[in-house]
Structure 1
């Protein structure tokens, strides 16, 4: 699942008055508003540490590779750097 799709899904759902995006934001250490404005559209660059938090807090639904790609890192770049 892409990070974009995951965030949109979390923002649509509602569990007992709290949106799951708010719980996810707490796990990441940010606010739901920051996720909506800056992360969803990848408007601000993110550190690798923050990208790892985004992946880890998704409970396996979004991989670190998918987060990296969300921020514009291509598979080709990752492959060429690993070689």
Structure 2
């Protein structure tokens, strides 16, 4: 699953209790608003440490390579072997 799809799936304001996006934001250590504005559209560069948090907090729904690709790292770059 892509990070974009995962975030859109979580952002369900119709829930009577806590929005699942809020719970994910708590696990990442940020706010749902930050996820909506900066992460969903990848408008701001993120550190590798933060990208790892995004992947880990998804509890297996989004892998680190998928998060990296969300931020513009191509599949070819991920598959390159270190020289």
TM-score by length of 1: 0.92
Do residues 41 (structure 1) and 38 (structure 2) align? no
Q: Going by fraction, where is helix more abundant, 1 or 2?
A: 1
Q: Which residue of 2 aligns with 1:60?
A: 60
Mark the runs of 5 or more structure 2 residues left unpaired by the alignment: none
- Mark the runs of 5 or more structure 1 residues left unpaired by the alignment: none
Shift of 1:33: 0.1
Partner deviation per Cα, 1:9-50 (whole Å, 9 max, x = no partner): 000265542100000000000000000000000000000000
Residue 12 of structure 1: SS of its match in structure 2? coil
* Residue of structure 2 in register with 1:12 after alignment: 12
Corresponding residue pairs, total = 83
TM superposition shift of 1:77: 1.1
| TM-align CA RMSD | 1.4
Question: Which deviates further from its counterpart, 29-38 or 15-24?
Answer: 15-24
TM norm structure 2: 0.92
Asked if the contact 1:14–1:20 (Cα under 8 Å) also holds between the matched residues in 2, the reply is: no
